[in-house]
């Protein structure tokens, strides 16, 4: 990849750069179906914006395939959005590498990368939506006797783990009896252990809120842990929630507004 350059404002037409949502991908077909439902919702919120989807692994199309198509279509600028809730290995290494490699083969195509999705108040709103849909009372009185397990997929990255813990601390301040982080893999505590710990502390009602975007192996592990420990409520994954769709566009708008920041370019 050659040195970065500034992207001149106004090059990409009245609708702005193309939004490229980059998901991890999964062998579980529910994953891709959920990602596509989410991007459809984002398109509906921003008519005229071209939104494309690509995957790092398991699913098609790949990131290089989509970027090649956009380049062939004469698209000069792309905003790449990692469909990730924390800034861990995929955000720090995988996605920048695949974008740089593809960009080196596509002269004239500028690719700017957004921040990851989390943390954001919109994500917390999405979590509460899913809890309410699962039957949990969100009133102030109910919150005061309810503990929530904020269940993440997990990571070996200390920064990502710290972010989950901070989200739990801040969410607790909205009136919940307790909010505890837990993880499906790579970090402790596990979901079942967090549920049992809240029970041992005398919390009357325990709900599990998966802090994940799409169904798959790790979300299934979260659900199994919640069931094993006897959680009272298990929320669904964030999925194509209105809050998450709005957050995609928020991250896109933030990236477009920062055009003075160098973009990846061939």
Crossing angle of helices 121-133 and 158-172, in 10° steps, is: 60
b/e per residue 31-51 (b: at least 16 CB within 10 A): bbebbeebbebbbeebeebbb
Does residue 18 contact residue 77 with C-beta atoms inside 8 Å? yes
Mean pLDDT split into 10-residue runs, the chain, 266 residues: 30 71 97 98 97 97 97 97 94 93 92 97 98 98 98 96 98 98 97 98 98 98 98 98 98 88 51
CATH for the 18-117+242-265 domain, from 3.40.50.920, 3.40.50.1820, 3.40.1790.10, 3.40.50.1400 = 3.40.50.1400
- Residue 11 has a pLDDT of 35
The pLDDT value given to residue 137? 98
C-alpha to C-alpha distances, 224 to 53, 191, 210, 247, nearest whole angstrom? 30, 9, 12, 29
Name the strands in the sheet holding 233-234, side by side, starting at the edge strand that comes first in the sequence: 178-183, 146-152, 205-210, 233-234
Predicted local confidence at residue 265, as pLDDT: 52
What span, in angstroms and rounded, lies between the C-alpha atoms of 41 and 246? Answer: 9
**pLDDT score for 59:** 97
What pLDDT is attached to residue 4?
Answer: 29
E strands within 130-263? Answer: 146-152, 178-183, 205-210, 233-234
The DSSP output letter for 61 is: S
β partners of residue 194? none
Residues 6+ apart with CB under 8 A from 172: 178, 179
DSSP-based three-state secondary structure for 196 = helix
CATH of 135-234, one of 3.40.50.1100, 3.40.50.1400, 1.10.3210.10, 3.90.1150.10: 3.40.50.1400
Q: Are 252 and 115 in contact (CB under 8 A)?
A: no
> Could you tell me where in the chain the CATH 3.40.50.1400 domains are found?
18-117+242-265, 135-234
- Residue 216 sits at the vertex; the CA angle it makes with 149 and 209, to the nearest 5 degrees, is 15
């Amino acid at each position: 990849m050659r040195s970065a350059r500034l992207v001149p404002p106004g090059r990409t037409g009245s609708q702005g750069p193309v939004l490229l949502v980059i998901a991890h991908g999964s062998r579980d077909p529910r994953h891709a179906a959920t990602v596509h439902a989410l991007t459809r919702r984002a398109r509906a919120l921003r008519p005229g914006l071209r939104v494309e989807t690509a995957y790092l692994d398991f699913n098609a199309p790949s990131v290089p395939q989509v970027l090649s198509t956009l380049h062939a279509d004469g698209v000069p600028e792309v905003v790449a959005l990692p469909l990730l809730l924390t800034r861990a290995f995929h955000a720090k290494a995988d996605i920048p590498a695949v974008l740089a490699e593809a960009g080196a083969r596509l002269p004239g195509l500028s690719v700017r990368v957004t921040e990851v999705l989390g943390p954001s108040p919109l994500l917390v709103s999405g979590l509460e939506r899913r809890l309410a849909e699962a039957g949990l009372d969100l009133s102030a009185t109910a919150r005061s006797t309810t503990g929530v397990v904020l269940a993440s997929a997990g990571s070996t990255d200390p920064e990502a783990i710290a972010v989950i813990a901070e989200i739990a601390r801040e969410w607790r301040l909205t009136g919940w009896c307790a909010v505890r982080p837990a993880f499906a893999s790579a970090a402790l505590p596990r979901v079942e252990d967090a549920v049992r710990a809240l029970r041992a502390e005398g919390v009357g009602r325990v709900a599990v809120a998966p802090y994940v975007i799409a169904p798959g192996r790790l979300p299934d592990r979260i659900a199994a842990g919640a069931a094993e420990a006897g959680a009272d409520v298990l929320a669904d994954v964030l999925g194509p929630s209105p809050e998450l769709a709005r957050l995609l566009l928020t991250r896109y708008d933030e990236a477009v507004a920062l055009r003075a920041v160098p973009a990846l370019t061939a």
